[in-house]
């Protein structure tokens, strides 16, 4: 896969040269996935663009413009503002505690008047920026000093704690997993991960007893034996499996799914939209979507390899990891491989904050490639104004 690009003076790059360096193949892949999402939301509304498809198209348009603008901004600007962006995201998470909007039994949104914002989605990108800046500022020889790992651990622990209180176990685990990948990529030794894993094993029984809500324990038990309560806690995953199997290789046909259109399938426009796609377009449709996701993943890792500074490399890895974990968790959830958690399918599930923030993340990813030759000093006081 060719990323394009050419050798030029990074300090004198013009807007035109930056536009030429934008990964338009990646933009096309993102638009293709979003188009599949529009079609599925149209089907979920029984052949109507309202209420989901039309709003999703508008959000994608806004997110696409934001993505391109962000990609053209000098990457050093995002490094300088990384901690400020993280602080804003943390304040928004705290605002959820104070004045959050409750929906479907969880308090995860902040009402900003014109729209409702889900701060946990913003934090996923903000944390990547903050950790990338921190690890960019310390060398590989310093990464082994335990005291230097305390600040990034606190940066991770604070949002994970606040998201767990919403409660949103799936998003909290996703944030922690992305952070772990960034720690590893920054050079943290494997034995420190082993210590964390051991501590996690010790804590699990106490977390099960005192840390999880009743519905979260029910989800885990239902995941293990969904047939134990087919009309209660196990209903969603059983209906999802029925829809997956009934689609076969080629599917029942667009807008011909029975599980979704007869209202057996829950949350078909959000968490279980992949199941609806599988029923209507079959295994072939699923493979096309997964193939697009894998192509986007390849672009992300290729861009990270081309980055010539630690900040850009870690931002690229963080955004790409966030994206692929979204995909894996959602598909694994609806196919019964993991317990049901509230993680949307990227660019396909209905949802404004998730789509726009993900496109903002891809703007940063593309910006890493556009500014791959820009020198970034390690010390903050050398970054300039």
Q: Cα separation of 343 and 324, whole Å?
A: 12
Most confident of 240-244, 261-265, 299-303, 351-355: 299-303
Q: pLDDT value at position 385?
A: 43
The listed range with the strongest mean pLDDT (242-246, 251-255, 300-304) is 300-304
> CB-based contacts of 200: which residues, under 8 Å, 6+ apart?
none
pTM: 0.88
Instruction: Inform me whether the pLDDT recorded for 7 exceeds 60.
Output: no
Selection from 362, 373, 372 nearest residue 69 by Cα:
362
Reading the block at residue 190, the tokens are 């494997």
Tell me if residue 188 falls in helix, strand or coil.
Answer: coil
> E strand or H helix at 257, and its extent?
none
As a whole number of angstroms, the distance between CA 303 and CA 315 comes to 10
Quick one: pLDDT band at residue 109, thresholds 50, 70, 90? confident
Alpha-carbon distance of 281 to 66, in angstroms, equals 32
Q: What is the pLDDT of residue 373?
A: 84
Most confident by average pLDDT, 51-55, 96-100, 136-140: 51-55
Mean pLDDT (whole number) for 327-341? 87
Taking each helix axis from N to C end, the angle separating 352-370 and 24-44, rounded to the nearest 10 degrees, works out to: 170
Phi, psi of 157 (to 5 degrees): -65, -40
Number of Cα atoms under 13 Å in the Cβ half of residue 367: 26
Predicted confidence (pLDDT) per residue in 198-252, tens digit: 877 787 777 767 666 676 676 666 655 555 555 555 666 778 888 888 888 999 9
Q: Which residue has the higher pLDDT, 5 or 266?
A: 266
pLDDT at 2: 56
pLDDT at 290: 97
Contact 164, 172 (CB under 8 A): yes
Sign of CA dihedral 165, 168, 169, 174: negative
User: How confident is the model at residue 100, as a pLDDT?
Assistant: 81
User: Cα–Cα distance between 194 and 347 in angstroms, integer?
Assistant: 34
Q: What is the pLDDT of residues 21-62, one digit of tens each?
A: 899 999 999 999 999 999 999 998 988 998 899 999 999 999
Q: How much is the pLDDT for 381?
A: 59
Tell me, what's the pLDDT at 297?
A: 96
Q: H helices within 307-351, ranges in order? A: 310-334
- Phi then psi for 117, rounded to 5 degrees? -110, 140
- Residues 329 and 319: their CA atoms lie apart, in Å, by 16
Q: Distances in Å between the alpha carbon of 51 and those of 325, 355, 357, 371?
A: 28, 16, 21, 39
Q: Where are the alpha helices (DSSP H) in the chain?
A: 15-21, 24-44, 53-72, 75-80, 82-99, 119-136, 150-164, 169-186, 190-206, 214-224, 235-246, 258-261, 273-306, 310-334, 352-370
Phi, psi of 106 (to 5 degrees): -135, 150
Structure-model confidence comparison of residues 105 and 142, the more confident one: 142
Residues contacting 99, CB < 8 A, separation 6+: 110, 111
Residue 78's pLDDT is 95
What is the pLDDT of the chain when averaged over all its residues? 85
Q: Which of 297, 359, 308, 296 is nearest to 5 (CA)?
A: 308
């Amino acid at each position: 896969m060719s990323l394009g690009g050419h050798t030029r003076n990074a300090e004198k790059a013009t807007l035109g040269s930056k536009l030429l360096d934008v990964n338009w193949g990646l933009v096309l892949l993102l638009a293709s996935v979003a188009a599949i999402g529009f079609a599925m939301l149209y089907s979920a509304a029984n052949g109507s663009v309202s209420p989901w498809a039309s709003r999703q198209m508008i959000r994608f348009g806004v997110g696409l413009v934001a993505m391109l603008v962000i990609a053209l901004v000098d990457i050093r600007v995002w490094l300088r503002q990384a901690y400020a962006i993280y602080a804003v995201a943390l304040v928004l998470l705290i605002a959820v505690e104070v004045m959050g909007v409750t929906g479907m039994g969880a308090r995860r949104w902040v009402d900003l008047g014109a729209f409702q914002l889900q701060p946990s989605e913003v934090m996923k990108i903000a944390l990547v920026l903050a950790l990338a800046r921190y690890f960019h500022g310390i060398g590989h020889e310093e990464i082994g000093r335990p005291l230097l790992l305390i600040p990034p651990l606190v940066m991770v622990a604070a949002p994970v704690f606040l998201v767990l209180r919403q409660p949103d176990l799936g998003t909290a685990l996703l944030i922690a997993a992305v952070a772990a990948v960034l720690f590893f990529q920054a050079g943290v030794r494997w034995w420190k991960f082993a210590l964390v894993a051991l501590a996690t094993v010790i804590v699990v029984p106490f977390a099960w007893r005192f840390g999880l809500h009743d519905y979260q324990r029910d989800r885990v038990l239902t995941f293990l034996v969904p047939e134990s309560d087919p009309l209660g806690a196990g209903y969603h995953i059983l209906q999802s499996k029925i829809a997956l199997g009934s689609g076969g290789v080629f599917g029942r046909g667009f807008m011909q799914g029975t599980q979704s259109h007869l209202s057996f399938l829950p949350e078909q426009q959000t968490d279980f939209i992949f199941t609806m796609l599988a029923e209507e377009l079959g295994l072939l449709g699923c493979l096309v979507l997964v193939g697009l996701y894998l192509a986007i993943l390849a672009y992300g890792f290729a861009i990270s390899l081309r980055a010539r500074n630690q900040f850009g490399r870690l931002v690229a890895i963080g955004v790409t990891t966030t994206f692929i974990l979204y995909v894996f968790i959602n598909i694994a959830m609806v196919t019964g491989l993991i317990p049901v958690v509230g993680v949307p399918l990227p660019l396909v599930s209905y949802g404004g904050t998730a789509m726009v923030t993900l496109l903002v993340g891809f703007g940063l990813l593309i910006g890493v490639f556009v500014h791959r030759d820009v020198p970034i000093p390690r010390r903050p006081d050398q970054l300039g104004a």
